[in-house]
Structure 1
Amino acid sequence: MADSFSRRSFFALTGITAAGLGLAGCAPSNNQGGSTTTGTEPQDGSPANTPLDQLPLPEKGKTYNNPKSRDEVKDGGTLTQPINEIGPQWNYYQLAGNTSYMNILHGLINPRDLFLNNADGDKFEPNKDYIKDFKVEEKDGKQVATLTFTDQATFNDGTAIDWTAIQTAFITMCGQNKKFAVSSTDGYDKYESVEQGDTAKTAVITMKEAVYPIESILSYALHPKLQDPDFFNNGYNNEPHNELGSGPYIVDSFDDSAVTFKPNPKWWGDAPKLDTLVYKQMDTQASINAFKNEETDTTGTSVAGSAELLSNFSGLGDKAQIRRGLGMSIAVIEINSTRGVLQDVAVRKAFCQIVDPATIVSIVFQGVNWKEDAPGSMLWPYWAAGYDNNLPDDIKNLKSVDERKAAAKKTLEDAGYKLNGDYYEKDGQQVTFAYTLFGDGTTVKNRAAAIQKMCKDAGINLTLDSHPSSEFSDVLTSGSWDVCLFGWVGSSTSYNNGGQLYGSESGSNFGQQGSAETDEMFAKVVSTKDFDERMKLMNEAEKKMMQTYAYLPVYTGPDCYVVKKGLANFGPSLFQSVPATIVGWQK
C-alpha cells in the first residue's frame, strides 16, 4: 500500500521452499511472461488449489491486485497481515529504517506519496490530497520546480505542510550534513535551494544540476522537527510519532510483536475503506499457520512463491487466491569486502564464479511454473526497458556447474592459493568466511546449504551464521557479516539509485566498494534527461562496480501474494501507486 520511488529498500529473504533438492536442478528457461499451456492469470489471481506447475505466468505490463474502483469496495472491515519486522527504527528515511517493512508501516501515517505513479512507471501525477499545483521550468539555465500544497495539507500536530516540509527533505537527505544517517542522497545532493514562493504553501526548488524525473525527489514531505540530526537519527527509535505525520491512518497501538492502525480523524482526503489494519510480527512458519487458521488475511508482503509455501494453501480451494506479477525486487548476495580474506578481490571473484543462480532458482521454484532470465543488475529488472546484464564476462558466461568450479579454482590458484586438504589457503590463511542468513524457513536453509556445497566444491570453506528474521535490519546495517543474501525492492526510478547502492560513501553500499569515478558516473545518470542515454550511463557505471566482485544478483522471482478471496487493490501492481484508502474488501 505504501509506495516510494526515490530510494531502494532492503528486505530479508525468509520464504520457504522444497527441502533436500541438492544442486542438480536445471536452469530456468528464458521467458518473461505469457503462457501457452496454462492460460492467462486473472487480475484477482488464481485459486489456491490450482496445480502449481500449471499456475499461469503474469503478463508484462499487467497488475494482479484485484483492481477495483472505490465504489466497488465495502466500507469497514479489518485487514490482518504478518510482517517480518516491526521497528525498532520508525524513520524510513534513516539508514536503519530503510527496510521494505518500514516502507509499508511508515507510509500509512506519513505524507510519502506527493506524486502517484502508473503501472508502467513512466508517468507521474500530483496527489491531489497534498498538491494543488506543480510545474517544472528552466530559469537562467537551471531546473526550477514550483510546488504548491493544498490549503488542507497539515501535519497531525497542526503544523502546516508547506515549503518547509520540502526544505526539510532536502536538508536531511542532501548529504551535506553527515550527521544525518540517511539511506540515500540520490538526487537530493543536486539541489541548490528551497525557498518560499508567493505564500508559505508554495515551495520553489532550484537545482544546481537537473534531476530526471524530478518528481522522484519531491514525493516526501517531512515535518520540520526532523531538521535536528539527533532527532532524525534517534527520535523514532521505538516511536512512530503520529503527531509528526499526516495520512489516512494513525498508529492505534504497537510493540515489537504487533501494530494496529486506525483511520486518522484529522485526515482530509477520502476516508480509508478499512476500519482497522493489523500487522503481526511472524516468522515464515507462523505466518503460514496463521493464514491457514484464518488468523490473517494474507501471507504478507511479496513471498517467495515456492512450492512448499504455496502447497500449504491448496486445501483452501477458491477461498484463497495466489496473485503473481513480474518481480519488482532483486535477490542479491552482497560481499563485505572489508572482512578477512574477502579483502582479496580474487577470493570475491572465485565466490561469484562458483555460486550458480540457476541452481538456486531451480531450488526455490521447484515444482512451480515460473520462468525468468538470470538478473545481471541490482538496479533494474530484466524485464524492463533499458536493462542490460552488467555482470563481468567471467561470471555471466559460465554456463555449467563444471565451468564454474574450474573457473573459481583457477582464479584462486592464479592468485597464489593452494589446496590444503579440502580448502585453499595462502600464507597460512584458509579461504573461509561466513554466510549470514535470517529466519526459520526451509528455503533459507536450503539456499544456504546449496551455496555452502558450491563453495566446498571450489575449495572455499563457507560457514553459516543464522539469525531470527526480527534481527535482520540490525545485523545488516551493523556490517558485522561476511556475505549475505537479501533483497532490494525496486521502484520506477531505481536506475537513479546507483549512488545509494554503490556510492563510495553510502551507508547502503553493503559491499563497501566504489570510487570517485563511479560516484561521478552514477551522478550523471540522475541528470540525464533522455531515457535511453540515462540507461546507457547507468549500465556503464554498474558494469564497473560489478568488476569489484562484491555484488552478485541471484534471482528476481515473482511478486507473489496469497490472499483471502475478495481482497481488493492488494497484490502485485508493478510501479503503480495504490492509495491505502482504497484497499479493502470488494462488495
Structure 2
Amino acid sequence: MNHQKTGRAVAVVAALGLMLSGCQGGTNKAAESDGNRVTGKNLNTINSAAVKSGTGEVTMAIGKTIPNWNTLTIAGDVSETVWVTSALYPSVFNTEPDAKTIKLNKDLIKSAKVIKQDPTTIRYQIQKDAVWSDGVPINADDFIYQWKVLNKKDCPNCQIRDAGGFDKVAKIESTDNKKTVTVTMKENYSEWQQLFQRLLPAHIAKKAGSLAQSFNEYFVKNTPKFSGGPFIISDAVKNQSVTLTPNPKWYGKKPNLKKVTFRMITDAQQVPTALRNDEVQVIYPQPQVDLLQSVKEMQGQGIKYQMNKSLVFETFTLNLSNSLLKNRVVRRALYTALDTKQMVAKTAGQLDPSLKPLQSLMILANQDGYEPKAGKLGFGEGAVKRATSMLKDAGYKIVDGKLMEPNGSKAPALRLVYTAGNPTRQAECEILAAVGKKLGLKLNIETTDSLGDTIAENGKYGYDIVVAGYTGAPFYASNASKRWTTGTGYNEHYSNSKVDKLVNQALQAKSRDEAIKLINEADQQVMSDVYMIPLYQMPSLIAYAGKYGNIRDNPSITGPTYNIQDWGIRKDQ
C-alpha cells in the first residue's frame, strides 16, 4: 500500500478493540514488563538465533486475500501480497527493520554503485549463478522489462502503482552476457536505490504477449509458477492459503524451513484464536487492545511478540473524481471540522495518552525533518463553525441539516469505506460520519473485502472516502514522487504542478538537507489541498511461537518476510 501498507461507534470503541500506540520511543509501561515481549536496541537483529536447517514448517496468518499477484500494479500493491511474494520476486535492495538501513541483496547482485554523475549512471553486476526457477538466467532482460512496463512511455496502458523512478531512466545497456547492467538516468537521481524492486521474469512475460498483456493480465491473474527467490509456490487455494517450499534452483543459502504456509484470515477477531490453537504460528495484524491482551495471555504457550514504531500511517483518502469532493473548499471544511486529537484519544490514544495526531504526510513524526503542518493550516481542530462559514462563503448552504451546493442541488451522499472486520477503522469512520453530518454531509459507511481493488476503483469496488494505511519510506523524495505527483498510480485524481516541481527538485538534490527542505514545501501544499487527511502513525505487532528464531518485525512495505529464508526452529528446541 505500502502501499503501502494497507490494514484495519465512538461509544463502543473500547468494546470493539482499539488500535495500540506507543512502541519503542513511546511504549506503554505495562507492555514493557510483559514476560513474552521480545525487545532489543538493534531492530535488525531482534530474535536472532541458531536454527535447524532443512526441517520444520510454519503457518503465518495474513488478513487479506490475493486477487492480484502483480505487486507493481495499483491494485496488487497490497502489503499481504508483498509479504507472500517477496520470497519469489527478487529485489536489488531491501529495507532492514530499522527502516533506515538499505541493504544490497548479495544473493542476487554482486555489486551496485554509481559510476558517474551528470547524469547519474549506475552499474549493476548480477551474480553469475542467479537464475529463475526454470533455470533461465536472471539478467538485463528482467531489468529492461521492469523499466519498460513502469516508465509510462513504452507501456502507457500498463496499470502501474507508480513509475518508481523509471520515468527518469534514459537508457539501459548490458555487457558480460547480460550479467552487467548499466543504467543511465536522464538527470541526477539521488535515490537510485529505489530502482529494481520485485523483479518479474522477462522471458515469461514475452510468452504472455505484449507488455500490457503480460503486466495487466498474466502476472495479475496467474498464481506464480516461477520464482527468483528462496521459495516457490507449491500449492495455492484461492481465498484460503498459499504454500511455499524451497526453490530447487535457488542460488543463495538454502532456506531453513521445508514449508511456509500463508493462511488467509480476513476476520481480525479470529486471528488470536488461530494462534492460540496452533493453527498458525505467526501473526502480523494491526494491533488492537483485545488482540494484544490475548497474545499476552499466551505466554504460557510459548508465544512471543514484538512491537515497533511503524512507518505506516492511518489516513482518510478522498477521491477527487467525486463531483462534490473535487471542490477544495469541501475537503478543507471537512478536515477543519474534524477534531483529530479527539479521534486519536478515542482510538489509538487509549493506551498512550501522549500520542499526537500526525500533522504531515511526506515525512513522518519519527523521521528526520518532520514539521507539523495541519495545525498551522487550521485543520483537525474540530472547528465546526469555522468550517460551516467556509462553505457558506463558497456559496453552499445547509438547509434542514442537508448541504446544498451553490447551484441549488442537494450534495450527493458519499461512500465512506473501511476494511471488513476492522473495528478500529469502523470507529474512525463513525467519528468522521458524525462530523460530516454537522456540515450537512451524508456519509454512508461501507466495508470492503479487497482494499486494493477499492483504492484502484476496480469493478464493484471504489470509494469516495476510504480509511487506509500507507507506508512511509527512508527515501522521502521517491516516496513523494510515486504518491503525490501528477499521474502516479496512488493518486489518479490529484495533481498540483507546484508539488510536481518541488518533488522533482528534491529527487535531484545534492544533499539530504536540501531534499528535506524541498519535500517539506511540497508537503505543505499537499496538506493544504487535503487530498488525504492524516490521522496518526500506526504501531506494528508481530507475534509468533517462541520455538522459531530469526522472525522479526520489519515496518517497511517488505514486511517480516524480508528474511524468510532465515526463519527456522531454534536448535535449543
Given the two structures, how large is their TM-score scaled by the length of structure 2?
0.88
| Per-residue CA distance 1:136-188 (angstroms, 9 max, x = gap) | 1216x322111111111011222211222222221111221312211111321
Aligned-residue offset at 1:122: 4.7
Change (3 A) 1:35 1:239: closer
Aligned-residue offset at 1:123: 4.5
For residues 359 and 252 of structure 1, the distance between their equivalents in structure 2, rounded to whole angstroms, comes to 48
For residues 309 and 566 of structure 2, the distance between their equivalents in structure 1, rounded to whole angstroms, comes to 22
Change (3 A) 1:73 1:423: farther
- The corresponding residue for 2:545 is 564
| 1:209-248 alignment runs, 5 A limit | 209-225=187-203, 226=205, 228-243=211-226, 245-248=227-230
- The corresponding residue for 2:499 is 518
| 1:12-411 alignment runs, 5 A limit | 12-14=6-8, 19-20=12-13, 33=25, 46-47=34-35, 62-63=42-43, 66-69=46-49, 71-72=50-51, 75-112=54-91, 114-138=92-116, 141-176=118-153, 177-225=155-203, 226=205, 228-243=211-226, 245-254=227-236, 255-283=238-266, 284-299=268-283, 301=284, 303-318=285-300, 319-365=302-348, 367-369=350-352, 371-391=354-374, 393-396=376-379, 398-399=380-381, 401=382, 404-411=383-390
Kept in 1: contact 2:361–2:527 (CA 8 A): no
RMSD over equivalenced CA pairs, Å: 3.1
1:443 is aligned, of 424, 431, 434, to: 424
Aligned-residue offset at 1:443: 2.2
- The corresponding residue for 1:4 is none
For residues 167 and 150 of structure 1, the distance between their equivalents in structure 2, rounded to whole angstroms, comes to 17
Residue aligned with 1:508, SS: helix
For residues 119 and 280 of structure 1, the distance between their equivalents in structure 2, rounded to whole angstroms, comes to 23
Aligned-residue offset at 1:120: 4.6
- Structure 1: runs of 5+ lacking an equivalent: 1-6, 51-55
- The corresponding residue for 2:533 is 552
- The corresponding residue for 2:564 is 580
Aligned-residue offset at 1:390: 4.0
- The corresponding residue for 1:542 is 523
- Structure 2: runs of 5+ lacking an equivalent: none
| Per-residue CA distance 1:261-291 (angstroms, 9 max, x = gap) | 1111111211111111111111212223212
For residues 446 and 402 of structure 2, the distance between their equivalents in structure 1, rounded to whole angstroms, comes to 19
Aligned residue identity for 2:252: G
Kept in 1: contact 2:28–2:352 (CA 8 A): no
Kept in 2: contact 1:435–1:463 (CA 8 A): yes
Aligned-residue offset at 1:348: 1.0
Aligned length: 552
Residue aligned with 1:97, SS: coil
Aligned residue identity for 1:9: H
Aligned-residue offset at 1:36: 9.5
Residue aligned with 1:161, SS: coil
Identity of aligned residues (%): 19
- The corresponding residue for 1:433 is 414
| Per-residue CA distance 1:399-442 (angstroms, 9 max, x = gap) | 4x4xx222222222222222222233231313632211221232
For residues 105 and 360 of structure 2, the distance between their equivalents in structure 1, rounded to whole angstroms, comes to 31
- The corresponding residue for 2:436 is 455
- 1:422 matched to 2:414: no
Aligned-residue offset at 1:246: 0.7
| Per-residue CA distance 1:324-377 (angstroms, 9 max, x = gap) | 101111111111121132122221111112223333322333653474332123
Change (3 A) 1:187 1:452: same
For residues 507 and 133 of structure 1, the distance between their equivalents in structure 2, rounded to whole angstroms, comes to 31
Residue aligned with 1:168, SS: helix
| Per-residue CA distance 1:91-122 (angstroms, 9 max, x = gap) | 1112221111111122111212x224445555
